[in-house]
Amino acid sequence: MRMESQPQRPSSLRKRAAITAAAADVFVRDGYDPASMDEIAERAGVSKQTLYAHFGSKEGLFVQVLQAETERAFASLPIHEQESASVTASSLRRHLEALGEAFLEVVLTPRMIGLRRLAIAESHRFAASAEAFARGGHERSVEALARMFRGLVERGLLAGDARRAARTFVLLVVVGPVDRAMFGSAPFAEQTRAAHIAEGVRLVLAGFGDRARNPSGDR
Amino acid sequence: MRMESQPQRPSSLRKRAAITAAAADVFVRDGYDPASMDEIAERAGVSKQTLYAHFGSKEGLFVQVLQAETERAFASLPIHEQESASVTASSLRRHLEALGEAFLEVVLTPRMIGLRRLAIAESHRFAASAEAFARGGHERSVEALARMFRGLVERGLLAGDARRAARTFVLLVVVGPVDRAMFGSAPFAEQTRAAHIAEGVRLVLAGFGDRARNPSGDR
């Protein structure tokens, strides 16, 4: 984190990104302890000296890999606050389903699943980083979704607490398939995945749908 | 599994239970590779010869630990099919909240969280057992809940597919706190936990509440 706050030259940033990408693949394939710093340097096309100059240690590199991959995944999530303006009552359900599909695409890549498994396995020695990785993957997505949902609440398309609605969306749509993948279970077939997303969206709409369309809804 | 199908003397079953309990604690504390078979034998009060006679190998012991602890946890879940008969419209919400609290008590023990973390960490070499552990903890609970919910559907207290309602309950109430614990995050404070459960139950009732009380509900 502290390193990020110093401005770096683009070539240096590119080098760091190449190293963390190479390191992510080696860590995921081999596990933390067996992963070889020599191989990571070789794959990234840098000397071992450069590797240590940038990251200090294997521990430091692992921590930066978790952080960099969280950033990358988060940046590729298709949650755009301004998009809520174009959603209509009739497109809301389909919009949320598409969001769910895109969300799962990002979090269910072998690299993200592998890093998540590693963060859990190594959480005893990287407690703060494992937690930051989890929070990066979960809390930040919830916050971004909540900002978009707030727009939908303002326009009367959703009702209630936008942050709760976002948290519910993530639990119902995203967490189940990710949890499955942790144990090496085969991913849902495409049809099952679509049904899972549709059911999650149905429940979000049942819990946070427009009051006007659902006046006698609970609470 | 094959061993279980042969009837065993009570003393032998007790010995196995003592061994798997001791092994669970050592595996959780040290991790799979560092765990010492000598220490497990000593803690269980048996010879190493007995340990290997019962479980064959460290791998075999680990697999049996996962299975035995899943069974133990599942048996202590307070899901009783017949209980649905005593639930009334006015006690339904409170009943489901109490069920959620009891559920979390069982799955959030340090031993269950530790074993779950180990099953994820070692899923590459114990794929079938890790999956069975996860399925034991998830699918079996969903099935048992669904049986109870079916009674509630028959009595008009819930509506829709009982199995989906059960799956929703587990996702909304149980999976989030377990996921948090995987990364070593501090558990919810008691108040936050109660609010989390209450919100999960509210959403289950919004999605699967009695149609009569919620005629214009989505779907």
Domain boundaries, chain B: 1-65, 77-219
Beta bridge partners of A158: A209
**Percentage of residues in chain A having pLDDT higher than 90:** 63
* Cβ–Cβ gap A219/B202 under 8 Å: yes
**Closest Cα in chain B, distance from residue A134 (Å):** 7
Closest alpha carbon within chain A to B205: A218
**Nearest chain B Cα to A173, which residue?**
B171
Contact A157, A89 (CB under 8 A): yes
| φ, ψ (nearest 5 deg) of residue A136 | -55, -45
Residue A109's pLDDT band, with cuts at 50, 70 and 90, is very high
Subunit contact B207:A209, Cβ cutoff 8 A:
no
**pLDDT score recorded for residue A130:** 85
Contact: B172, A168; criterion CB under 8 Å: yes
Nearest-neighbour CA in chain A from B71: distance (Å): 18
Closest CB from A124, A183, A218 relative to B206: A218
Specify the fold of B77-219.
Answer: Tetracycline Repressor; domain 2 (1.10.357)
Fold equal for A1-64 and A77-212: no
Q: What percent of chain A has pLDDT over 70?
A: 92
Chain B neighbors of A203, CB-CB under 8 A: 168, 203, 206-207
What mean pLDDT, rounded, does chain A reach? 87
Asked if residue A157 lies in contact with residue A87, where contact means CB atoms within 8 angstroms, the answer is yes
For position A13, what pLDDT does the model report? 83
Return the pLDDT at B7. 62
DSSP string covering A33-46: TT--HHHHHHHHT-
Q: Could you state, in chain order, the average pLDDT of each consecutive group of 10 residues for chain B (219 residues)? A: 56 88 95 95 95 94 92 85 85 95 93 92 86 80 92 94 95 91 84 94 92 44
Q: How confident is the model at residue A219 (pLDDT cuts 50, 70, 90)?
A: very low
Residues of B with CB under 8 A from a CB of A: 31, 117, 119-121, 123-124, 127, 130-131, 133-134, 138, 164, 168, 171-172, 175-176, 179-180, 182-185, 199, 202-203, 205-207, 209, 213-219
- Which H or E element spans position A150? helix A127-154
Tokens of B174: 């149980």
Evaluate if residue A216 carries a pLDDT over 70.
no
Q: CA dist B165 to A101, A195, A203, B56, B102, Å?
A: 22, 15, 10, 42, 18
The encoded tokens of residue A82 equal: 């301004």
**Distance separating alpha carbons of residues B18 and B41, to the nearest angstrom:** 10
Class of domain A1-64: mainly alpha
What does the H/E/C string look like for A164-179? HHHHHHHHHHHHHHHH
CB contact under 8 A, B179 and A175: yes
Note the pTM of the prediction, 2 decimals: 0.86
Contacts of B31 in chain A (CB under 8 A): 124
Summarised one tens digit per residue, pLDDT across range A172-200 is: 999 989 988 998 878 888 899 999 999 99
Q: For testing the chain A interface, which of B90, B120, B196 should be mutated: the one with the most A CBs within 10 Å? A: B120
Q: In which band, very low, low, confident or very high, does the pLDDT at A8 lie, cut at 50, 70 and 90? A: low
Q: A216 and B216 in contact by Cβ < 8 A?
A: yes
Residue A55's Cβ-side half-sphere holds a number of Cα atoms within 13 Å equal to 28
d(C-alpha A93, C-alpha B197), whole Å: 26
pLDDT at A81: 75
**Dist CA A203 CA A20 (whole Å):** 38
**CA separation for the pair B35, B178 (Å, rounded):** 24
Output the pLDDT for position A151: 93
Q: Which of A16-20, A40-44, B84-88, B91-95 has the lowest mean pLDDT?
A: B84-88
**pLDDT score at B76:** 87
Fold annotation for B1-65: Arc Repressor Mutant, subunit A (1.10.10)
ipTM: 0.84
Q: How confident is the model at residue A212 (pLDDT cuts 50, 70, 90)?
A: very low
**B164, B183, B216 ranked by CB distance to A123: nearest:** B183
Q: How many residues does chain A have?
A: 219
Architecture of domain A77-212: Orthogonal Bundle (1.10)
Looking at B92-161, list the stretches that DSSP marks H as alpha helix, in order from N- to C-terminal side. 92-107, 110-121, 127-154
* DSSP code for B204: H
Q: Which of A164, A183, A218 sits opposite B131 (nearest CB)?
A: A183
How far, in Å, CA of A117 to CA of A119, rounded? 6
The pLDDT of residue A85: 85
Query: What is the per-residue pLDDT for A84?
Result: 79
